[in-house]
Amino acid sequence: MADGYKKHFSGSYFFLGRNLSRMDYVSVLERTLVHNFLHFFVPALATWIFYRKDWRSSYIFLMLTMLVDLDHLIADPIFDPQRCSIGYHPLHSEIAITIFALMLIHKKLRIFGFGLLIHMSLDGLDCAWMASFSPGIPNS
Ligand SMILES: [Zn+2]
């Protein structure tokens, strides 16, 4: 690897209790930004595809499913970009995800189940990205 590249990414960044290299800091920041953008964009896309007729209320219902992240409040620290939510937080457990899938059966609960499964998929994607693109950062 070219020395210039190494030099550009040298130095350490103290970020949420960790010393990260510049490259790791940028990758964590980038992943966090993309992840949060997707939490708004994918439900919007789903609304456009499946609920175009009443997109306003549908988008609100899908956004309400973000309240599932309230389970982060009982975790310490509350926010850690290097922690995989799936299987860690109670409302992100396998049992919870099974219940969200069962919500698809009931007509009135369907949109919430759908939103929650979108949420879990995006959190799962974040875990996969975290595992593959954060070299040098120990997973907690
Ligand atoms: Zn989540």
Question: How many angstroms is it from 84 CA to the middle of ligand 1?
Answer: 9
Report the separation in Å between the CA atom of 6 and the middle of ligand 1, taken as the mean of its atom positions: 34
Say if residues 19 and 13 touch (Cβ distance below 8 Å): yes
The tens digit of pLDDT for each residue in 125-139 reads 999 988 886 555 555
Mean pLDDT over each residue of the chain, to the nearest integer: 86
pLDDT band at 30 (very low <50, low <70, confident <90, very high): confident
pLDDT band (50, 70, 90) for residue 7: very low
Q: Which residue has the higher pLDDT, 73 or 27?
A: 73
* 70-91 burial code (b ≥16 CB/10 A, e <16): ebbeeeeeeebbbbbbbebbeb
The arithmetic mean of pLDDT across residues 38-54, rounded, is: 97
Handedness of CA 128, 131, 134, 135 (dihedral sign): negative
How many angstroms does the Cα of residue 135 sit away from the middle of ligand 1? 23
Q: What pLDDT sits at residue 58? A: 97
Kindly list the distances between the CA atom of residue 98 and the CA atoms of 14, 94, 120, in Å, as whole numbers in the listed order.
Answer: 38, 6, 11
Torsion angles phi and psi, residue 12, rounded to 5: -120, 150
Q: Is the pLDDT of residue 89 over 90?
A: yes
